[in-house]
C-alpha cells in the first residue's frame, strides 16, 4: 500500500448543491462530473436519489459516458427505524441507480440518536450494521460517513467508537469521520483522528465543514493524523458556510506535505479552470481572494512587495502560481510604487525605467482619479491607457460623439455616433444596447473589434454601498479569445459610467492590437 | 498574569487596505477605528505613515476622539541599511504621528536578508536592535513583527531565533511571529510557535496570512501553542488572499477554547455589524458563506436539516447564532421540504401544519419558477407572496399598469401608472428612476411606503454567467428601518426583472404591514 496516496471524493454535486442559492441542472452536473473525472478524482458523489428525484436522471445519464478513472457514488442514509433493509426506500433507491459505490451516512452522536432519530443506541447500531451488510451483499463498495463523529466522540467517546467498530465489522470499505456541524478545532481533529487510526484497521476518511473557518485545515490535520481519503467540494460550496474546499486542500497535500493525489502535479494546473466552471454553473461570482486559484492569490499591491517579487519571487509567493494554473498579477493603485507601473507596461511591451519621472506623473494621475472613485487595481487596462497618454504613445482612433438610450417595456434601443458613423441597436438592457451599437459603428473603422466579447460587468457604489444617490463605479471585463482585460468608468449615472468603461475597453483593444504585446490579465 | 487572556491587534486599516480593490477614505478609517475601540480591540494599527501620506491624516484626526480602550499603533520598518536611526525617514515618520505604540517589522528569513534587503545577516540584526532601541528610547510600546518567521525558521532556524533573541534583548514588548507568505501548515505553526514560547520570555504574538486557506486555523494553533497576542483584519481582507480573519478567530477562541478576548461575550454580538460595516466601506460584497457572521452561516436548506434543527438546534448548529449577532435562516428552494416553508410562514405570523396539502402546491409552484431561473432562498419575501396567494391570504392593493423609462446622456426619467396615479421621476439610472416613480405613486395609497428603502440590488445571469443574451435574475433587498426583506425578478430584460422585484418588494411590505408579524431576514 502506498502510504502517501490520498484518495479524493468530490461531493459538489450532492453536498455542494445543498448550498444556499445553488441549483445545478442535469447538464451542469454532467459537465462537472466529466471534469472531475478528467483530473483524476477517485469518487464522484453524484446525488441523493432518495431525497431528490432529479438525481436519478444524473445516474442514468452519466452511464452514457465512459469515465477514465472515477467511480460514481450515490448517497443515502441507513435504513429507517422499524423497517427492514429490503423494504427501505432510501437503501433501495441507491441500488436502483445502478452505481457500484455507495456513500452511506449514519449517526455517531448520541444527541442525534436520541433527539433526531429517536431510537435506542442499540437500534442505531443495528441500522448501521444491517444497511452496510445489505449494500455489500449487493456487491457495492461502501463508504460509511459517520455523521457528527467528532462531536459524538467528545461527548460520548464509547458510543462513537462503537459506531465505527460496527461499521468495520460490517466490512465498510472506508469509514469517513464527519465534522458535520463544522465546529471542531484542528487540534481536536488531529487527536481524535489519530486515536481512531490507531484503533481501527479500515481505511479512514474525512468529511469536514467550514463553520469555524477550519474546513481546509481540519482536513489537512486529519490526513497528517493518518486518514487517507478526503471528501470535499469544489470551491467549498455546501450547506451553511460550506464544505472543505478541495481546490485548497489538494495543492497543500501535494506541494507542501509530499502526498500524492489525483493524477499528480499535472492535475493541479486544472484547478483554476475547474474552480471557474463550478462558480459559473452554480451562479456564484468567483472569489478573487480564494487561496491558490483566486485572481488576487498572487497579486502584489504594496510597492515593497512588487519590488521584492521582481528580485526573488519566493519573497512573497508561497508556491509558483503556474503550478496551480494561476499567474502573478502586479496591482496598480494609490499604494503602488513606480515598480508596479513599469512592470505592468512591460507586459504590454513597453520598457520604462522605474525611475523615469513620467511614471511619477502617471502615478499622480492614478491617485487623483482614485480619490474620485476610480479603482485601477481591478481595471489595469484603464491605467495602461493613462500611461500611454502620459508617455506620448497614445494615438486617437475613434471618438464617441453622441449616444442616447430609450427603454420602453423591456425593449432597450441605443443610438450612437462614432466618428462619422451613426448606428442603432437594441439589447436586453441599456448597456447591452449601447455595447452593440458602438461595436457596430467601430466595425467600420476596425473590423477586428468583432473578436471582442464582454465577459463580465459589475456595478459597485464605492464608499457607501447603500446610498443609491452617490457615484457609481462600473468595471467591465473583455476578452478577444486570447487575452482578457478590464476597464473602469465612474459617474453619478450608471449608464454613463458603463459607457466610459465600454469605450475604454474597445480603445484598449485597438491601441494594444496595433503595436503591443498581450496584456496579462 | 491572566493566562487565558488574548490581546487583539487589528490591522484592517493597514494590511487590510493592501487588499486588491480596497481603498479607505479618511472618514472610513475613523468609523472603523471607533467601532474597533467600542468592541474592545486592544491595538488598532492605523497605517504606515512612511509609505502612504494619507495615513498621517488618520493619526492626526483620531486624536480628536477619546478612545475607551484601544491603543493606536503606527506601522513601519526597521531602519534602512547604511542610515543611522536618527536620520531614518521611516522610523521618524512613526514618531511624527505622535502615537504611543509602534508595530515595527524586520526580516527573519535569510532569503529576504540576502536577496531583498541585500545586507549581511549581522547588519540586519543591528538594524533590528537599533530600531527597537530608538523607539523604546522615545517611550513607545514596541510590537516587533518578525516577518517570514516560519519560513525563516524552517530554512535557517539558528538565524530566525537570533532575530527573535535580538528583539527580546532590545526589549520589544511583543514579538509577533509572522507567516507573511501564508504558506505554512497548521502542524508546523504549532510546533514552531511552541518552540519559540519555550525559549523566549517576551510575549509572543501571531500574524498569519491565508494563502493556503489556513489563516484562521494557524492563529488558533499558535494560541494553543502559547501565543497570547493575535493580529488580523476584519473579514480577513489583505494583500493577496488576505490576512487571518478576526471575525472568525475571536469567537472560536472565546466560545470553544475558553480564552478571553475583547470585552468578553458581549463583544461577540457586535461582530456581524462590524463585519458589514467593513465590507461596505471596503466596497466589497458581504460573503454570505462567511463563518459565524455570513447570511448563510446558520441557513438550513436540506429538508432533513431544517426538520432536525426544529427538534434540537444543536443538531446542525455548532453555536447559538445569537451569540455572534447572527440568526437562523430556513431556506426555501427545490431541495426544501414543507417544514422549510411552514417555518418561514411562522416567522410572518401564519401557522400552517407542515402536512397541509396547500404547502405541497406552494412547493410545486416554487420548483416550477426555479426551473425558469428564479431563486427563492435568496429572496424569501417573493416566496411568501406566492404562499399568501396559495393560502388565500393575499389581498391585491395596487397594480402597476404602465411604465416607461427614457435614458439620455446620463439622465434617466421614468413614467409609471399605479392604479389611477400617473407619476414621473428622474434617477441616477433607470432602476432608480422607476423606484422613485412607483414610490411616489404608492404614497397616495399607502403613505407608510416612505419608510421603505432599497438597501441592495444585484443582477445575476443564472446558469451561464457569461452569456449576456440569456435570462437575468434581479434580487433587491429592502428595509423599513426595523426589518429587511429580499425579492426576486426574472426576465430577459434587466429592467423588466428589476421592475418585478421592485413591485414584489413594495407589495410584500404592504401585505405584511397590514396583518403580519415581522419577517426574519
Model pLDDT for residues A397-439, shown as the tens digit of each residue: 999 999 988 876 667 888 999 999 998 988 877 888 899 999 9
Of B282, B314, B340, the residue at which a domain comes to its end is B282
pLDDT, tens digit (0-9, with 9 covering 90-100), for A36-59? 999 999 999 999 998 777 788 899
Q: Please check whether residue B280 touches A, CB under 8 A.
A: yes
Q: Please check whether residue B466 touches A, CB under 8 A.
A: yes
Name the residue among B116, B217, B468 with its Cβ closest to that of A311. B116
Q: Check the CA dihedral B263-B265-B266-B271 and report its sign.
A: positive
Answer yes or no: is pLDDT of B468 > 80: no
Percent residues over pLDDT 70 in chain B: 94
How far is it, in rounded angstroms, from Cα B411 to Cα B428? 7
Averaged pLDDT of chain B:
89
A124 and A249 belong to one structural domain: yes
- Using alpha carbons only, how large is chain B's radius of gyration in Å? 27
Percent residues over pLDDT 70 in chain A: 94
Nearest CA in chain A to B296: A240
A209 and A259 belong to one structural domain: yes
Name the residue among B213, B318, B495 with its Cβ closest to that of A245. B213
- Number of domains into which chain A is organized: 3
A185 part of a folded domain = yes
Of A224, A249, A282, the residue at which a domain comes to its end is A282
CB B13 within 8 A of CB B49: no
A336 and A199 belong to one structural domain: no
Which residues of A, range 241-260, sit inside 8 Å of B by Cβ?
241-242, 245, 248-249, 251-252, 256-257
B265 and B413 belong to one structural domain: no
Asked whether the beta carbons of residue B116 and residue A460 sit closer than 8 angstroms, the reply is no
B85 part of a folded domain = yes
The pLDDT assigned to A453 comes to: 86
B144 and B254 belong to one structural domain: yes
A220 and A322 belong to one structural domain: no
B294 part of a folded domain = no
How far is it, in rounded angstroms, from Cα A147 to Cα A251? 26
Percent residues over pLDDT 90 in chain A: 60
Suggest the residue from B11, B18, B19, B20 to mutate for an interface test with chain A (most A CBs closer than 10 A): B20
Asked whether the beta carbons of residue A20 and residue B216 sit closer than 8 angstroms, the reply is no
The pLDDT assigned to B469 comes to: 41
Distance (Å) of CA A477 to CA A330, A485, A486, A508, B415: 17, 6, 4, 12, 33
- Taking contacts as CB-CB distances below 8 angstroms, the residues of chain B near A11 are none
B287 part of a folded domain = no
B380 part of a folded domain = no
When pLDDT is cut at 50, 70 and 90, the band that residue A470 belongs to is: low
Q: Please check whether residue A224 touches B, CB under 8 A.
A: yes
The pLDDT assigned to B300 comes to: 86
Name the residue among B214, B298, B428 with its Cβ closest to that of A492. B428
pLDDT, tens digit (0-9, with 9 covering 90-100), for B473-510? 888 889 887 888 899 998 877 788 889 999 999 999 99
Of A378 and B143, the one with more pLDDT: B143
How far is it, in rounded angstroms, from Cα A207 to Cα A218? 9
B216 and B347 belong to one structural domain: no
Grid coordinates in use for B11?
A: 490591522
A410 part of a folded domain = yes
Chain B nearest-CA distance from A99, in A, is 22
In chain A, how long is the greatest CA-to-CA distance?
Answer: 85
B329 and B251 belong to one structural domain: no
CATH of the domain at B126: 3.20.20.70
The pLDDT assigned to B463 comes to: 42
CB A461 within 8 A of CB A468: yes
Triad A41, A44, A49: Cα angle to 5°: 180
The pLDDT assigned to B340 comes to: 78
Averaged pLDDT of chain A:
89
Nearest CA in chain B to A151: B318
Chain B nearest-CA distance from A392, in A, is 28
Answer yes or no: is pLDDT of A64 > 70: yes
When pLDDT is averaged across residues B203-230 and rounded to a whole number, the result is 98
Burial tier of A418 (Cβ tally within 10 Å: 0-12, 13-18, 19+): buried
- Taking contacts as CB-CB distances below 8 angstroms, the residues of chain B near A299 are 20, 239-240
B17 and B144 belong to one structural domain: yes
When pLDDT is averaged across residues A282-302 and rounded to a whole number, the result is 89
Give the best-scoring range by mean pLDDT among B14-28, B79-93, B272-286.
B79-93
When pLDDT is averaged across residues A158-175 and rounded to a whole number, the result is 98
Suggest the residue from B154, B189, B318, B475 to mutate for an interface test with chain A (most A CBs closer than 10 A): B318
Which residues of B, range 119-178, sit inside 8 Å of A by Cβ?
none
A70 and A119 belong to one structural domain: yes
Asked whether the beta carbons of residue A301 and residue B20 sit closer than 8 angstroms, the reply is yes
Which residues of A, range 310-369, sit inside 8 Å of B by Cβ?
311-312, 314-319, 329, 331, 333-335
When pLDDT is cut at 50, 70 and 90, the band that residue B338 belongs to is: confident
Answer yes or no: is pLDDT of B16 > 60: yes
Chain A nearest-CA distance from B344, in A, is 15
How far is it, in rounded angstroms, from Cα A61 to Cα A367? 55
A393 part of a folded domain = no
Of A310 and B31, the one with more pLDDT: B31
Residue A364 CB coordination number (10 Å): 11
Asked whether the beta carbons of residue A315 and residue B428 sit closer than 8 angstroms, the reply is no
Answer yes or no: is pLDDT of B518 > 70: no
Answer yes or no: is pLDDT of A469 > 50: no
When pLDDT is averaged across residues A324-350 and rounded to a whole number, the result is 77
The pLDDT assigned to A519 comes to: 36
pLDDT, tens digit (0-9, with 9 covering 90-100), for A271-280? 999 998 898 8
A364 and A407 belong to one structural domain: no
Answer yes or no: is pLDDT of B21 > 90: no
Asked whether the beta carbons of residue B213 and residue A291 sit closer than 8 angstroms, the reply is yes
- As a residue count, chain B comes to 521
**Residue B157 region by backbone torsions, left for phi larger than 0, else alpha for psi between -120 and 50, else beta:** alpha
pLDDT, tens digit (0-9, with 9 covering 90-100), for A70-104? 999 999 999 999 999 999 999 999 999 999 999 99
* Helical (H) or strand (E) element with B72: strand B71-77
When pLDDT is cut at 50, 70 and 90, the band that residue B150 belongs to is: very high
When pLDDT is averaged across residues B80-88 and rounded to a whole number, the result is 95
Q: Which domain holds residue B316?
A: 299-369
Of A223, A253, A282, the residue at which a domain comes to its end is A282
When pLDDT is averaged across residues B289-294 and rounded to a whole number, the result is 96
B150 part of a folded domain = yes
Of B366 and B238, the one with more pLDDT: B238
Name the residue among B112, B210, B495 with its Cβ closest to that of A291. B210
The pLDDT assigned to A289 comes to: 94
Asked whether the beta carbons of residue B214 and residue A212 sit closer than 8 angstroms, the reply is no
Suggest the residue from B111, B213, B272, B466 to mutate for an interface test with chain A (most A CBs closer than 10 A): B213
A74 and A196 belong to one structural domain: yes
Amino acid at each position: 500500500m502506498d502510504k502517501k496516496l490520498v484518495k479524493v471524493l468530490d461531493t459538489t454535486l450532492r453536498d455542494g448543491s445543498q448550498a444556499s442559492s445553488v441549483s445545478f441542472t442535469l447538464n451542469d452536473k454532467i459537465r462537472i462530473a466529466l471534469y472531475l473525472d478528467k483530473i483524476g478524482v477517485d469518487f464522484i458523489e453524484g446525488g441523493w436519489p432518495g431525497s431528490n428525484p432529479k438525481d436519478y436522471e444524473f445516474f442514468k445519464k452519466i452511464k452514457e459516458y465512459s469515465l477514465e478513472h472515477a467511480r460514481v457514488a450515490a448517497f443515502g442514509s441507513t435504513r429507517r427505524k422499524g423497517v427492514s433493509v429490503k423494504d427501505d426506500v432510501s437503501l433501495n433507491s441507491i441500488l436502483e441507480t445502478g452505481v457500484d459505490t455507495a456513500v452511506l451516512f449514519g449517526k455517531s452522536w448520541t444527541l442525534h440518536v436520541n433527539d433526531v432519530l429517536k431510537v435506542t443506541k442499540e437500534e442505531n447500531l443495528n441500522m448501521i450494521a444491517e444497511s452496510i451488510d445489505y449494500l455489500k451483499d449487493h456487491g457495492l463498495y461502501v463508504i460509511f460517513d459517520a455523521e457528527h463523529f467528532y462531536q459524538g466522540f467528545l461527548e460520548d467517546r464509547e458510543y462513537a467508537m462503537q459506531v465505527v467498530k460496527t461499521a468495520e465489522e460490517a466490512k465498510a470499505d472506508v469509514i469517513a469521520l464527519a465534522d458535520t456541524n463544522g465546529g471542531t478545532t484542528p487540534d481536536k481533529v488531529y487527536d481524535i483522528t489519530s486515536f481512531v487510526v490507531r484503533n481501527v484497521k479500515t481505511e479512514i476518511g474525512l468529511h469536514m465543514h467550514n463553520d469555524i473557518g477550519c474546513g481546509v485545515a481540519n482536513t489537512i490535520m486529519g490526513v497528517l493524523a493518518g486518514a487517507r481519503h478526503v471528501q470535499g467540494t469544489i470551491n467549498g460550496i455546501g450547506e451553511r458556510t460550506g464544505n472543505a474546499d478541495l481546490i485548497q486542500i489538494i495543492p497543500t497535500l501535494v506541494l507542501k506535505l509530499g502526498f500524492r493525489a489525483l493524477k499528480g502535479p499535472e492535475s493541479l494546473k486544472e484547478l483554476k479552470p475547474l474552480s471557474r466552471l463550478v462558480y459559473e454553473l452554480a451562479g456564484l461570482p468567483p472569489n478573487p481572494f480564494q487561496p491558490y486559484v483566486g485572481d488576487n492569490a498572487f497579486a502584489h499591491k504594496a510597492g515593497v512587495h512588487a519590488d521584492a517579487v521582481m528580485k526573488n519571487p519566493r519573497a512573497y509567493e508561497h508556491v509558483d502560481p503556474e503550478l496551480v494554473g494561476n499567474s502573478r498579477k502586479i496591482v496598480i493603485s494609490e499604494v503602488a510604487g513606480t515598480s508596479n507601473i513599469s512592470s505592468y507596461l512591460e507586459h504590454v511591451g513597453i520598457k520604462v525605467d522605474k525611475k523615469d519621472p513620467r511614471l511619477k506623473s502617471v502615478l499622480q494621475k492614478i491617485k487623483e482619479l482614485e480619490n474620485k472613485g476610480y479603482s485601477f487595481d481591478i481595471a489595469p487596462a484603464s491605467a495602461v491607457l493613462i500611461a500611454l497618454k502620459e508617455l506620448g504613445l497614445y494615438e486617437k482612433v475613434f471618438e464617441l460623439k453622441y449616444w442616447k438610450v430609450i427603454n420602453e417595456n423591456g425593449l432597450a434601443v441605443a443610438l450612437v455616433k462614432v466618428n462619422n458613423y451613426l448606428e442603432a441597436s437594441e439589447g436586453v438592457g441599456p448597456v447591452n444596447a449601447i455595447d452593440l451599437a458602438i461595436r457596430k459603428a467601430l466595425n467600420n473603422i476596425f473590423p477586428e473589434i468583432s473578436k471582442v466579447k464582454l465577459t463580465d460587468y459589475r456595478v459597485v457604489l464605492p464608499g457607501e454601498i447603500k446610498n443609491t444617490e452617490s457615484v457609481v463605479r462600473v468595471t467591465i471585463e473583455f476578452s478577444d479569445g486570447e487575452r482578457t482585460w478590464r476597464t473602469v468608468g465612474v459617474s453619478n449615472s450608471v449608464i454613463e459610467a458603463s459607457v466610459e468603461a465600454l469605450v475604454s475597453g474597445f480603445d484598449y483593444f485597438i491601441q494594444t492590437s496595433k503595436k503591443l504585446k498581450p496584456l496579462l490579465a
